[in-house]
Amino acid sequence: MKKILAVALGALFVTSCVAGDGGPGLEPIPGSITYSGQPRTKLTKSPIGSTFTHYFYGPFGERIEEIYRIEPDRSLKIVSRQEQDIFSAIND
């Protein structure tokens, strides 16, 4: 039963995991820095085009890593997202 649940949740996470060039399919999710819009403060000291990583936990306990890039207008763009589900550490 554990394996069936793990496979089902794994399939769900794989289909929701999007990585790439930050195209239209890479929308902010709860926990993303830009989920409720762009931050009010601008990153004025960071070079345009530089990237940084943001880690947080999703609603099912999965660890999510997002990489953001600073755009010329100082807004943030998600360029990559990776998820690790909670069952990846369980040994059967």
Indicate whether 90 belongs to any domain: no
Indicate whether 6 belongs to any domain: yes
- Encode the chain (92 residues) as per-residue pLDDT tens digits: 555 444 444 444 444 444 444 455 589 999 999 999 999 888 888 999 999 999 999 988 899 999 999 999 999 999 999 998 766 655 54
Residue 40 confidence (pLDDT): 87
Residue 76 confidence (pLDDT): 95
First-residue to last-residue Cα distance in the chain: 11
Indicate whether 17 belongs to any domain: yes
Indicate whether 89 belongs to any domain: no
Residue 15 confidence (pLDDT): 41
Indicate whether 78 belongs to any domain: yes
The rounded distance, in Å, linking the Cα atoms of 2 and 74 is: 45
| Nearest alpha carbon to residue 70 among 42, 37, 91 | 42
The rounded distance, in Å, linking the Cα atoms of 85 and 92 is: 15
Q: Which helix (H) or strand (E) holds 2?
A: helix 2-16
Indicate whether 32 belongs to any domain: yes
Burial of 81 (0-12, 13-18, 19+ CB in 10 A): buried
Indicate whether 92 belongs to any domain: no
**Domain assignment of residue 21, given as a range:** 2-84
Average pLDDT taken over every residue of the chain: 77
Record the pTM.
Answer: 0.66
The rounded distance, in Å, linking the Cα atoms of 81 and 83 is: 7
Number of domains in the chain: 1
Q: Which two tokens stand for residue 17?
A: 């995991």
Indicate whether 91 belongs to any domain: no
